[in-house]
Amino acid sequence: MSVYLLCLVLFCVGLYCILRKRNVIKIIVGVVIAEYAVNLFLALVAYRFEGRAPIFSPDQKILNMVDALPQALVLTAIVISLATTALLVGIAMRIYEKYGTFDITKIKELKG
Amino acid sequence: MNPASQLIPLFVVIPLSGAFLIALMGKKLKWLPDFTGTFLTLVLFILSLVAIKPTDLYHTLVYSVGAWKPPIGISLVQDGLTVLMLVVVNLVVFCIALYSINYMERFTSKWKFYTLFFLMLAGMNGVIVTGDLFNLYVFLEIASVASFALVAFGTERHELEAAFKYAVMSSVGSLFVLLGIAMLYGYTGTLNMADMSVVLVHKGEGKLIAMISVFFIMGFGLKAALVPFHSWLPDAHPSAPAPISAMLSGVLIKALGVYTLCRIFFNVIGITPAILSVFMFMGALSMVVGVFLAIGQWDMKRLLAYHSISQIGYVILGIGLGTPLGILGGLFHLFNHSVFKSLLFLNSGAVEYSTGTRDLQEMGGLSQKMPVTSGTSLIASMSIAGVPPFNGFWSKLLIIIAAVQAGRYGYAFWAVLASILTLASFMKVMKYAFYGSLREKWASVIEVPVFMKLAMVILAFFCVAGGLLLVPSVQGVFLQQAQAVLVEGLQYGSRALGVIGSG
């Protein structure tokens, strides 16, 4: 149970970082932390207590195997988050070129 | 497997191969991006029209990717709702591809634009046809990432700022969706949407389902720009190049937001009165807040973007009423909105193309110089404001009648009020941009090139003729098929699985 709570805490750290930080790079780090928390949650969903690796062999019974599917999902989710992060960092670099700052309180020309 | 179902994967395969082809060779062969862009989107539009007939005959068609039998493999499902969305998306995208031939000449790397354009289209079509929840997330992200890049396409100050805001908020929305999917998988032990709905019927309502519903409303509501989650839209949509604004406002928020909300809540989780009232409340709120924010805008594209929020509110309100008539009205308005809002964004792009400004106060009298643009813009404005006999009138009428029939007089009142305010704000657009006396500095303005005109005229035709979709014989094969999918609700599961059982 405590693992799930820690996972939730990690997610909240990410969200806090996105909502409260003023630096563009820190916001991106916040997104990444929140993504890790969700990936961790997916892996936890698959976990079975005292489980073993899901490899089937003739002399073993199918007992307590961890679920292999979410692990494949996590791999996909990581690839997607890599694409998002790369794009975010690319945009952040361009923002720095144009505005000369990473502070989002100074980057707000769009209003209304 | 039904031979007609062999066509379903093409909706994803064609745009993906288009993106690949253009990325590979578009830089060398200058004619390739334009040609592939128009040709492939035309093929997709025809395919989506072809798909109407078998869906009418067989109701639900299923394609198993890699011949893995569901619920193990990924399945692609085609039913009435899917076909409606496919027609909407591919029609609008075809017109936009036509328009881009001339419009995108101003940007240096046209092939990059088309690559991202096709990736976004692949993502949207994928979201619509997939029958697997995680696959839906993957396509959702493909479409979103492509749209972040397209919003930032101009790489100027405002574009970058809007793209960053959009990317961060949209990523957070996607995270909530993924969290919901993980919980739903943990609860049901399957990812196939049909199988999931069958399992959920057996397991019954739990507290976990309420939490998952909240996550999905947050995630997909953010993609659909419903009011508490709307703040990215008025920045992101105006910043993109005009064809992309049309695509984002016209179809992306519907494919990624409204369609997914409908599919998951009606067909997978099962709709409850509580969720319906949340839909209605958020719909009405978006409707009113969007239009009030729109009315004070002077930037033409920003004004249109706020109207998107407002019109999406109508769609969600109609669907949230939960009665068959309300759902019909909501889906019809979804079709209509994608047509006239894309047209309006294309008009604003045409004005910007000729004059170089988006500020309504600087325009004036352009109808003398740009008759096609101002004519189509008038048609689209009348449609969005709900003036008979244009298409927007019929769908708004259906929604309001449905609200009165359901006894929701308050929501009906707000719908009428928002419609009047919409009319007011579009009168402002027409007056300041196209009518009045021509300004000195616009004396040399000329009408836009031929492909841009053609795209606008096609969309204007659909605005005028859209009301014909309600004619009973047409309605029976197209709109009512989509309505039936939502009204039947959880039967989706047994249908999509039952088709597989029978062969």
CB contact under 8 A, B234 and A83: no
For residue B1, the model assigns a pLDDT of 62
Per-residue pLDDT of chain B (503 residues; tens, 9 = 90+): 678 888 999 999 999 999 999 999 988 888 888 999 999 999 999 999 999 988 888 888 888 888 888 778 889 999 999 999 999 999 999 999 999 999 988 887 889 999 999 999 999 999 999 999 999 999 999 999 999 999 999 888 889 999 999 999 999 999 999 999 999 999 998 999 999 999 998 887 778 899 999 999 999 999 999 988 998 999 999 989 999 999 999 899 999 999 999 999 999 998 899 999 999 999 999 999 999 999 988 999 999 999 999 999 999 999 999 999 999 999 999 999 999 999 999 999 999 999 888 888 888 888 888 999 999 999 999 999 988 889 999 999 999 999 999 999 999 999 999 999 999 999 999 988 888 888 888 888 888 899 999 999 999 999 999 888 888 888 888 888 899 999 988 888 888 887 654 43
* ipTM surpasses 0.85: yes
CB contact under 8 A, B185 and A45: yes
Phi, psi of B453 (to 5 degrees): -60, -45
Residue B94 near residue B120, CB atoms below 8 Å: no
Examine residue B389 and say whether the peptide bond preceding it is cis (omega within 30 degrees of 0).
yes
- Name the strand (E) or helix (H) holding B61: strand B61-64
CB contact under 8 A, A34 and B172: yes
Span A67-80, mean pLDDT? 91
CA distance B444 to B433: 16
Instruction: List, in sequence order, every residue forming a beta bridge with A52; answer none if it has no partner.
Output: A65
CB contact under 8 A, A87 and B297: no
Give the best residue of A80, A95, A96 to mutate against chain B (max B CB count within 10 A).
Answer: A80
Under 8 Å CB-to-CB from B501, ≥6 apart: which residues? none
Nearest to A111 by CA among B151, B226, B161, B153: B161
CA distance B209 to B322: 20
Chain A residues closer than 8 Å to B163 by CB: 91
Nearest to B319 by CA among B256, B271, B367, B354: B271
CA distance A11 to A4: 11
Nearest to B168 by CA among A57, A32, A71, A110: A32
CA distance B402 to B399: 5
Chain A residues closer than 8 Å to B167 by CB: 84, 87-88, 91
Residue B395 near residue B313, CB atoms below 8 Å: no
What mean pLDDT, rounded, does chain A reach?
88
Tokens 């591809």, residue located: B97
Tokens of B171: 């990523």
Residue B332 near residue B475, CB atoms below 8 Å: no
Residues of chain B whose C-beta is under 8 A from some C-beta in A? 134, 137-138, 141, 145, 148-149, 152, 155-158, 160-165, 167-168, 171-172, 175, 178-179, 182-183, 185-186, 191, 234-235, 239, 293, 296-297, 302
Q: B132: helix, coil or strand?
A: strand
| Nearest residue on chain B to A78, alpha-carbon basis | B138
Under 8 Å CB-to-CB from B409, ≥6 apart: which residues? B403
Residue B433 near residue B302, CB atoms below 8 Å: no
Give the tens place of pLDDT for each residue, A1-32.
789 999 999 999 999 999 999 999 999 999 99
Of A31, A38, A95, the CB nearest to B179: A38
Examine residue B324 and say whether the peptide bond preceding it is cis (omega within 30 degrees of 0).
no
Cα dihedral across residues B60, B64, B68, B73: positive or negative: negative
| Nearest residue on chain A to B305, alpha-carbon basis | A112
Instruction: List, in sequence order, every residue forming a beta bridge with B76; answer none if it has no partner.
Output: B63, B130
A positions 40-59 inside 8 Å of B (CB): 41-42, 45
Chain A residues closer than 8 Å to B158 by CB: 109-110
Q: B150: helix, coil or strand?
A: helix
Under 8 Å CB-to-CB from B334, ≥6 apart: which residues? B84, B88, B254, B258, B315
Domains in chain A and their CATH numbers? Answer: 2-52+61-99 (1.10.287.3510)
CA distance B178 to B159: 28
